[in-house]
Amino acid sequence: MLCTMSAAAVAVWLGTVVTILSRSHADRRVYPSAGVLFVHVLEREHFKGEFPPYPKSGDASSDPITFNTNLMGYPDRPGWLRYIQRTQHSDGVLYGSPTAEHVGKPSVIEITAYNRRTFETARHNLVINIMATEEFPLPYQAEFYIKNMNVEEMLASEVLGDFLGAVKNVWQPERLNAINITSALDRGGRVPLPINNLKEGVYVMVGADVAFSSCLREVESPHNQLRCSQEMEPVISCDKKFRAQFHIDWCKISLVDINKVVPVYITRPDPGTGILPEFGEYSPPSESLMGRNYFSDFLITLAVPSAVALVLFFILGYTMCCRREGVEKRNMQTPDIELVHHSSIQKSTKELRNMSKNREISWPLSTLPVFNPVSGEVVPPIHPDNYETTSMPLMQTQTNLQNQITIPQQRPSGDNYVMSTFRRLEVNGIPEERKVAEALNL
């Protein structure tokens, strides 16, 4: 019983392993038609079985999975094939429109799925075999710009079917196919602001086998062209058939009739001299070429400018250091009277600058009170508070002024004293009696 159960369990396990390996290495084949829109959805559910289950039961959809697509043997996809995946929790979409040039050339697309939780990968191959179609190319093609859609929303089968149904009601063709879908960002559009659910916009090209309807031709009327030039919305009678779900910018609609398009043949220019022939063989240079000596180039490029710079440096150093006269030589050539005069001017200037820095310090001797040797009178200089001392001369004529104070003065003989007067000065409200004491001690 135990052996039977173990054998059954092993069989189930082997079956699971084989299934996983077959999913990992199986090639999926698709057969798109040239000139018709090709859409292939990379479903996350298809790759979840190849990764370990999510730790929480019933929450396996939380695994973030991203896809990388490239042409086998190349780092990128073919030029006609695009890929988009909005978030790590959404499906990826391969879309594009192959042309007749790719018919009969199978393309193997390598699809690598990355599990961002476990950092594991799984790889599938998608083989694209482009088939030719008798309807290609459809002669009448119209490109619409839808403002309220993103490219991945428009690629959904139900949304694209609704749009083609609205176009068919307006156009009334027998055959109508979606030729191509392009995001507005690929046409130079700007990323919209993340407000009011703004969309990037998408261009949808459709083709039909009948001429354009009168409703679509209304865009080419002079009235609507004038409104478009003035950035106003044109008046289109069939706009109401789209307005319920699709907001179309009728000023950006493009109507092309392939039968009236003049083919442009690009001629190759005549190759000039030095251009190899188209089917010519390349003849490499001989291996016996002599090596080139770069010593002379070194001397011209580095040695010569360095030598010139060194000579100029020595000339400048000799001129600046060895040819200086100096202060001693200058003083020897200057007369003594000029040096004495210059020194006295410097001393007087220094004294005046020290006086102007601090007005509260003691005045110099030239501004002390004047003593009369005949009368014995001591008269201080005139320094009123509102007087501009900076323009006052050092020596002034002393006169009898008001507010004088009498002080005793001893005579040469006798015991009597003579009273002398002097003016009472105040500096910042403080009597300058100290000046009088200093004058008496002279």
**Pick from 242, 243, 236, 228: which is nearest to 163 by CA?**
242
* Phi then psi dihedrals of residue 125, to 5 deg: -115, 135
In the CATH scheme, what is the code of domain 22-128?
2.60.40.10
H/E stretch holding 27 reads: strand 27-30
166 C-beta neighbours (distance < 10 Å), count:
19
In angstroms, what CA-CA distances link 251 with 166, 212, 220?
A: 19, 16, 9
Question: In whole angstroms, what is the distance from residue 113 CA to residue 46 CA?
Answer: 10
3-state secondary structure of 317: helix
3-state secondary structure of 264: coil
**Residues forming CATH 2.60.40.10 domain(s) in the chain:** 22-128
Question: In whole angstroms, what is the distance from residue 306 CA to residue 297 CA?
Answer: 14
pLDDT per residue, tens digit, the chain (442 aa), is: 333 334 443 333 333 333 233 334 457 899 998 888 999 999 888 887 788 776 666 554 578 889 999 999 899 999 899 999 988 888 999 999 998 888 888 889 999 999 888 888 888 899 999 988 876 778 899 999 999 899 989 998 899 999 999 999 999 888 888 999 999 998 888 888 777 778 889 999 999 988 999 989 998 899 999 999 998 999 998 888 898 889 999 999 999 888 887 666 566 666 566 665 566 677 777 777 777 888 888 888 998 899 999 999 999 988 888 777 777 777 777 788 887 888 889 889 988 888 877 665 555 555 556 656 666 666 565 554 444 544 545 444 444 444 444 445 445 554 444 444 445 555 455 455 554 455 445 4
**Pick from 106, 102, 131, 122: which is nearest to 42 by CA?**
122
**Pick from 107, 141, 110, 113: which is nearest to 38 by CA?**
107
